[in-house]
Amino acid sequence: MAMKLARPETLYDQATHYCPGCGHGIVHRLLGEVIDELDIREKVIGTAPVGCAVLLYDYFNCDIIECAHGRPPAVATGIKRVLPDRVVFTYQGDGDLAAIGTTETVHTANRGENITTIFINNAVYGMTGGQMAPTTITGQWTTTTPAGRGGNQEGPPLKVCELLSSLEGVAYLERVAVSSPKDVGQAKKAIRKAFETQIKGKGFSLVEILSMCPTDWKQSPKQAVDFVNNKLKQVFPLGVFRDWDE
């Protein structure tokens, strides 16, 4: 019987350091499968972020550069402009992409840099222990919003897809989740479409993935899945925000 769920060649045979119930492992798997299916592993250069996914290079069997917090889009720009026929992706969390690196994100998207960004939105700073992220939802408790976000003039959560959808350089923009089997299937389709966008030279592509962080949300894995499905999806509606193909 053929192995249908064999480990993708793009992933090393290596257990990850992620907490039980975390979404990173699912997204790593999807990303590995897509890179395999598009047969681009030997053409890919990825960037590792500051945050929980900093050890990306321990799991992905492809060229990877680890970047400073917020700077992956600039680093990816440098690589892609020097090697335009390679496939370049950034893998970033919410603090990286939408707080300290907002400048890089907006301008890289606006220039239409032909790269792909995988954006993990779990509404919290994971690595540093659960502080407020730019995407923390109103009322959400974090270690730096003890009264819930909104109680101390933090402003509402920043919506990245909505923000970027007005930029002409953006070719493909979709928000997905990994909190149900159906969502995982759609997330994979979106990641694949984003890479195809780059391979066809259409410009900047980004997939925002609503993901679970049970540890810093102080929830069980099951509660965390429910939190994505019942709370985050209300604030961050899923769907395609921009598609060069339509």
Partner 1 sequence: MAEAAIQAGCRFYAGYPITPQNEVPEYMSRRMPEAGGVFIQAEAELSAINMLFGAAAAGARCMTSSSSPGISLKQEGISYIAAAELPCVIANVQRGGPGLGNIRASQADYFQSVKGGGHGDYRLIVLAPSTLPELYKLTMNAFDYADYYKNPVLILSDGILGQMVEPIEIRPYEPILDLPEKDYILDGCKGREARVIKTLFLHPADMLMQRNMHLVKKYEKICTELQLAEEYETSDAQLVIAAYGITARIAKGAVGMARAQNMKVGLIRPITLWPFPKQNFKELAKRIDKFLVVEMSNGQFIEDVKLAIECERPVEFLGCGGGWYPSAENIFEKIQEVIGD
Q: Out of 52, 76, 133, 184, name the contact with partner 1 by CB under 8 A.
A: 76
Q: Of the two residues 107 and 189, which places its CB atom closer to partner 1 in the complex?
A: 107
Are 150 and 189 a contacting pair, CB within 8 Å? no
Show contacts with partner 1 in window 107-146 (CB under 8 A).
Answer: 107
Question: Does residue 71 belong to the site contacting partner 1 (CB under 8 A)?
Answer: yes
Nearest to 118 by CA among 73, 78, 163: 73
Helix (H) or strand (E) run with residue 12 in it: none
Coil/strand/helix, residue 44: strand
Are 57 and 95 a contacting pair, CB within 8 Å? no
Choose the binding region for partner 1 from 83-91, 176-184, 205-213, 223-231 (rule: CB under 8 A): 83-91
104, two tokens? 């890089």
Question: Does residue 16 belong to the site contacting partner 1 (CB under 8 A)?
Answer: no
Choose the binding region for partner 1 from 27-35, 73-81, 140-148, 207-215 (rule: CB under 8 A): 73-81
Question: Does residue 45 belong to the site contacting partner 1 (CB under 8 A)?
Answer: yes
d(CA 27, CA 37): 15
Q: Of the two residues 110 and 165, which places its CB atom closer to partner 1 in the complex?
A: 110
Q: Out of 11, 35, 75, 98, name the contact with partner 1 by CB under 8 A.
A: 75
Smallest distance from the beta carbon of 199 to partner 1, in angstroms? 13
Are 172 and 197 a contacting pair, CB within 8 Å? yes
Pseudo-torsion of CA 48, 54, 59, 64, nearest 10°? 20
d(CA 114, CA 108): 9
Q: Out of 7, 25, 38, 41, name the contact with partner 1 by CB under 8 A.
A: 41
Q: Name the pairing type of β-strands 170-177 and 239-243.
A: antiparallel
Show contacts with partner 1 in window 48-67 (CB under 8 A).
Answer: 48, 54, 57, 60-67
Q: Out of 14, 20, 37, 103, name the contact with partner 1 by CB under 8 A.
A: 103
Q: What residue spans of the chain are helical by DSSP H?
A: 24-37, 56-59, 72-82, 94-95, 102-110, 160-164, 181-199, 214-217, 221-227, 233-235
Choose the binding region for partner 1 from 43-51, 130-138, 217-225, 226-234 (rule: CB under 8 A): 43-51
Smallest distance from the beta carbon of 35 to partner 1, in angstroms? 11
Smallest distance from the beta carbon of 94 to partner 1, in angstroms? 19
- Count, in order, helices (H) and strands (E) of the chain: 10, 7
Are 49 and 92 a contacting pair, CB within 8 Å? yes
221, two tokens? 């894995």
Choose the binding region for partner 1 from 79-87, 117-125, 163-171, 211-219 (rule: CB under 8 A): 79-87
Binding residues (CB under 8 A) for partner 1: these are 41-45, 48, 54, 57, 60-68, 71, 74-83, 86-87, 103-104, 106-107
